[in-house]
């Protein structure tokens, strides 16, 4: 599975959790849930950046709210977004697309679908 490029104002690409797990190379996976939700169980290798911080940091330009790893993320590299049920991740995807990210992917069904697919999860904080 490969990731396709999207341009601003185009539809956000969507992958199922299984399709994401088959991507090579795998895009950066960002979990946009709260830190508490993230710690309760997330996809291996996912980074946590809540929707609120994305909206404030990217949408309003308050970059000081964004973690260093996000600030250096290249706009042309693929980034996939996941939440619990795919209600918050499309909002975050639109914010990133407007900010110039060229390969934005929404994970359909969120962590609920991830768990239904039997994919592994880990607990605890994982952001360096």
pLDDT digits (tens, 9 = 90+) for 56-78: 999 898 999 999 999 999 999 99
pLDDT score of 10: 65
* Coil, strand or helix at 57: helix
Cβ pair 44, 31 in contact under 8 A: no
Mean of all residue pLDDT scores within the chain: 91
pLDDT score of 127: 59
- What CA–CA distance (Å, rounded) separates 61 from 124? 29
Joined together, the tokens standing for residue 52 give 């609120």
pLDDT digits (tens, 9 = 90+) for 85-96: 999 999 999 999
Distances in Å between the alpha carbon of 45 and those of 15, 63, 98, 100, 102?
17, 23, 25, 24, 21
53 phi and psi angles, rounded to 5 deg: -65, -35
Name which of 5-14, 15-24, 92-101 the model is least confident about: 5-14
Q: Is the pLDDT of residue 44 over 90?
A: yes
């Amino acid at each position: 599975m490969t990731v396709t490029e999207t341009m601003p104002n185009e539809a956000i690409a969507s992958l199922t959790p299984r399709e994401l797990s088959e991507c090579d190379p795998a895009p950066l996976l960002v979990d946009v849930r709260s830190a508490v939700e993230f710690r309760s169980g997330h996809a291996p290798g996912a980074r946590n950046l809540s929707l609120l911080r994305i909206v404030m940091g990217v949408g309003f330009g308050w970059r000081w709210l964004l973690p260093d790893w996000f600030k250096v993320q290249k706009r042309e590299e693929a980034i996939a977004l996941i939440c619990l049920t795919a209600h918050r991740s499309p909002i975050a995807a639109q914010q990133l697309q407007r900010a110039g990210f060229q390969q934005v992917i929404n994970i359909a069904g969120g962590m609920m679908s991830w768990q239904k697919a039997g994919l592994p999860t880990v607990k605890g904080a994982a952001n360096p």
